[in-house]
Amino acid sequence: AQKITQTQPGMFVQEKEAVTLDCTYDTSDPSYGLFWYKQPSSGEMIFLIYQGSYDQQNATEGRYSLNFQKARKSANLVISASQLGDSAMYFCAYHRGGSARQLTFGSGTQLTVLP
Amino acid sequence: EAGVTQFPSHSVIEKGQTVTLRCDPISGHDNLYWYRRVMGKEIKFLLHFVKESKQDESGMPNNRFLAERTGGTYSTLKVQPAELEDSGVYFCASSQDRGTGSFYNEQFFGPGTRLTVL
């Protein structure tokens, strides 16, 4: 079974600075996908970014980028120019290819952006 | 376009009672998933519907949980009888069917139902 590890239960960052949230995964699947979701205090899960295991380039979506290191099995989320509204819980999730489409989640990182 | 909606947002019941959670996926999404997060633990997969059929229910914890998806539209998750350890947040998500050959499968989540069993 896949295991997703987020080793940072809590992180603090100063407004306008960049922050990296760590995610490592353990899998023997030949192909897979990695997602990051944001969960603000209101509770909804917001999709941020996706990286496929065969993608040649690191994924980017606005201020979010994914530092994908396949050999190290890591998929760290980088948020540039942090904003107060970025304060939230962030989850890394794994998705196996084929018909098994459920997500396997890490334990999450609570990010707090300081003014 | 409306997102995934869940009802109720909160539910407080006593041990032994029955609770039914409802999820309305995004219109046109054939895939519907249930997840839950119990206090202090990871979000865990419960089951996956494709239209009205259960594709994978390997995450259902026991037979006190029953999920249905009427006509491939909304889904309900019934817990009967509820136990203390069932407390947590239950999320529903939906996604389009891009075919097994397509890998990318973004799931859109609802706001969750917070269930408290006393």
Taking one residue from A and the other from B, the number of pairs with CB-CB distance under 8 angstroms is 64
Torsion-angle region of B9 (φ positive above 0: left; ψ -120 to 50: alpha; else: beta): alpha
Nearest chain A residue to B43 by CA distance is A105
CB atoms within 10 A of CB B73: 12
User: Is the model's pLDDT at B102 over the cut of 70?
Assistant: no
Q: Which of B48, B56, B106 sits opposite A47 (nearest CB)?
A: B106
Q: Do B89 and A43 touch (CB under 8 A)?
A: yes
Q: Do B42 and A103 touch (CB under 8 A)?
A: no
The CA distance from A106 to A19, in Å, is: 18
A84 SS3 class: helix
User: Is the model's pLDDT at B14 over the cut of 90?
Assistant: yes
Q: Which of A98, A103, A107 sits opposite B107 (nearest CB)?
A: A103
B107 SS3 class: coil
CB atoms within 10 A of CB A40: 13
**pLDDT category of residue B1 using cuts at 50, 70 and 90:** low
User: Is the model's pLDDT at A31 over the cut of 90?
Assistant: no
The CA distance from B96 to B73, in Å, is: 13
Inter-residue contact B64 to B72 (CB < 8 Å):
no
Give the least confident one: A30-34, A96-100, B34-38, B79-83. A96-100
Inter-residue contact B112 to B6 (CB < 8 Å):
yes
User: Is the model's pLDDT at A10 over the cut of 90?
Assistant: yes
Return the higher-pLDDT residue of A52 and B65.
B65
Residues counted in chain B: 118
| Cβ-based neighbours of B101, under 8 Å, separated by 6 or more | none
